Amino acid sequence: MVSNEEIIKKYWGFFNDEDFDAAGKLMVCDVVVRWPNTREVFKGKDKFILTQKKYPGKWYISLKKIFSKEDTVITVVNVATKDKSISFYATSFFKMKNNMICEIHEYWSDVSEPPEWRIKQGLSERY
């Protein structure tokens, strides 16, 4: 049997390849996807997958971290344009049931420069 982590790794690979229909096959029909940053909820995989297909531009997905315990998988991915002029991080909480994604909570953040005062005061460093 394939682990929940392997299923989610496939999911992100399909997103990177823009094969949203294949990603949708990893979800139950009545999956619920929540984006708290914009207060959106997608009820059902058809609406969520259609949203992905209509999203403008080509985005590259890089899986940075993955954790799992029982029926929950948590990932951190970087989502960026090819030239990395636009870049985001998404932290996603996947709820799994019978090796299928049944719920996703996803939090998005921009990649930006830290406030200069923290750098000048030696409180943080850029990496």
Tell me the CATH number at 24: 3.10.450.50
Asked whether residue 39 is domain-assigned, the answer is yes
Asked whether residue 52 is domain-assigned, the answer is yes
Asked whether residue 125 is domain-assigned, the answer is no
Q: In the numeric block, which tokens belong to residue 121?
A: 């005061």
pLDDT for res 38: 94
- Domain extent, residue 93, equals 4-120
pLDDT for res 6: 97
The predicted-structure confidence for 31-87, as pLDDT tens digits, reads as follows 999 999 999 999 999 999 999 999 888 999 999 999 999 999 999 999 999 998 899
Give the sheet arrangement for strand 40-43, strand by strand.
Answer: 40-43, 27-35, 100-110, 87-97, 72-80, 60-69
